[in-house]
Amino acid sequence: MAASMRQMLSRLSSVKMPERLKTGLPKKIGEYLSNMHRDYKAATVDVFTDMKERPFKAAFYIASLSAIGYMGSQAPDEENFEKELVEASNDLLLLSNLTRNQGSDLHVQKMMALQNAGVLRYMSLGVCSLIWEDHFDKRVALYDAKCDYLTVSWREFPDRIRDVGFMGRWHYLSKAMEDYDINELEFQNASSGQLV
C-alpha cells in the first residue's frame, strides 16, 4: 500500500505542466494547492509522531472522539420523539382510569396538547437532543411570532425545555412512563380503608 502511494506520488511529481499553465491564475491555484498539501502533510506527520511519543494521550483522545461520535449517532430525532409520545399515549389509553398513573397521564396529555398546538420545537446539540416549547406555532404570522426581539430568550430557555434525548431515549418521557400502570391514589385510599 505504502509502495503504491510512493509510486503514485513520484508519477505526479514527474508530470510536466504546459507553458501556458505556468503563469497567471492557474499558477496561483497550483501554488495554493501545493502549499495546502505541504501544510496538511506536515500536520499529519506531526500527529503521528505525537501519537508515537505519547500513546496514552493519543488513546484517550481517540476514545473520547469515538465516544462523542457514538453518542452523536445515538441522539434521537424529532420523528423518534413523536413516535415515543404516541406510543406512550396509546399505552395509557389501554388502561382504565382506576389503574392509570395520574402523573404519567398528566405529563403525556400536556405534551400531546403542546404538540397539537404546534409549539414544540426540536433542537439537536450533536450528542443530545432537546424538545422545547416556543410561544407560537411556526405557521402563525402575527408580529409577535415573527419579531426577533419577542422570541424565547436564552434566560428563559432552560425553563422551556420539555424533554432531553440522549443515547436513543427521551428521558423526561421515560421517567414519566416508569410506573404508568400503577395508580398511587389507589394505594393511598386502600391504606385508609376506602375503595376508589
Where do we find the cell 505519547? 54
User: What is residue 16's predicted lDDT score, i.e. its pLDDT?
Assistant: 67
Q: What is the pLDDT of residue 173?
A: 92
The per-residue pLDDT for 113 is 93
Q: Which residues of the chain have pLDDT under 70?
A: 1-3, 5, 8-23, 189-196
Domain residue limits, the chain? 27-74, 78-191
Dist. CA 158–CA 132, nearest whole Å = 9
Residues belonging to the chain:
196
Alpha helices in the chain (DSSP H): 2-13, 24-53, 55-74, 78-93, 102-117, 143-146, 171-176, 184-191
pLDDT for the residue numbered 19: 65
95 burial class (0-12, 13-18, 19+ CB within 10 angstroms)? middle
User: Measured between alpha carbons, how far is 66 from 60 in angstroms, rounded to an integer?
Assistant: 10
- Check residue 194 and give its pLDDT: 59
Q: Which of 137, 107, 132 is nearest to 121 (CA)?
A: 132
- Whole-number pLDDT of residue 7: 73
